[in-house]
Structure formats: C-alpha cells, structure tokens
C-alpha cells in the first residue's frame, strides 16, 4: 500500500517540475527540494550510511517498520554535501520513503527521471550517483523482505 502523503508529494513534485520550462528553474527547484529535506542527524553521517558510487558525498539512513499486514515498509532519510545532489536525494526519497519493500522493488526510478527529462540533463557522474542511491535503497528493500 502506498503512503498517501508520499504519493501526493511525488505527484506534486512531478507537477511542479513539469510546470517549469527553463532548465535553470528546474535546477533551482531541485536545490529547493534538497533544502526542504529533514535534517539527517550528525551521527547518521557515517560510513555505514554512505552511498558508494557517488562523486558527491551522499548518506542514506533506512528504518524498517511493518505495516498493518506485516509487510516491511522502508522509511528513508538522506543528505548530500552538494546542492543539486541533495535535491536528487529529496526526489528519490519522495518516490521511495514510506513504501513497502515489494513496491520499492517494483518502482522504476529511471522511468521517473526519463519522464522528467532529468536523464539527459544530468552529468554522467550524477546519473551514476542516482543509480547508486536507487540500488542501495533496493538492496535495503531486498534485505527487509
């Protein structure tokens, strides 16, 4: 079952992103999304939470709980030392946090990035970083199942 708040948030982000025609405005919006992230505790900026494969430093913290039917649900927090990457973290968290592990495994982040035309506007290093973040979240989902 999809978290209604998360579904509304990702839908709102997609709508806002599609409303912006200029890529400078879209980058500014990504930066604003990053600024809106809940802060990650200093203690969570550790090697266990660090995402490998990102040029910028990225940390993802995963908490697993069970929903009413006993399915594992992942709650994610994240941070980065780079403004645009922090915005990408916010976008990925809006897509995945609060979702069941099985839904996370079935959700295609790459399709979202293509639909927003982000794929063609990210550097290869940032694209690799996004793939690393998504793979880390999917690995956490596999471990929770």
Respond yes or no: is residue 71 known to be catalytic.
no
Alpha carbon distance 109, 130 (integer Å): 9
Closest CA to 93 of 137, 31, 57: 137
Alpha carbon distance 44, 58 (integer Å): 11
- Let me know: does 74 contact 105? Beta carbons within 8 Å: no
Alpha carbon distance 38, 78 (integer Å): 8
Strand arrangement of the beta sheet that strand 99-100 belongs to: 58-66, 72-80, 99-100
Alpha carbon distance 116, 111 (integer Å): 9
Give phi and psi for 94, each to the nearest 5: -65, -35
Catalytic residue selected from 51, 54, 89, 90: 54
Active-site residues: which are they? 54
């Amino acid at each position: 079952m999809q978290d209604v708040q998360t579904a509304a948030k990702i839908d709102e982000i997609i709508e806002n992103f599609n409303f912006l025609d200029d890529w400078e405005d879209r980058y500014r919006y990504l930066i604003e999304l990053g600024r809106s992230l809940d802060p990650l505790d200093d203690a969570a900026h550790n090697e266990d939470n660090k995402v490998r494969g990102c040029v910028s430093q990225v940390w993802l913290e995963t908490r697993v709980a069970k929903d009413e039917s006993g399915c594992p649900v992942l709650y994610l927090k994240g941070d980065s030392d780079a403004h645009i990457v922090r915005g990408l973290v916010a976008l990925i968290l809006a897509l995945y946090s609060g979702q069941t592990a099985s839904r996370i495994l079935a959700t295609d982040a790459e399709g979202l990035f293509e639909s927003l035309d982000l794929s063609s506007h990210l550097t290869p290093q940032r694209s690799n970083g996004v793939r690393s973040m998504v793979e880390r979240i999917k690995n956490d989902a596999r471990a929770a199942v």
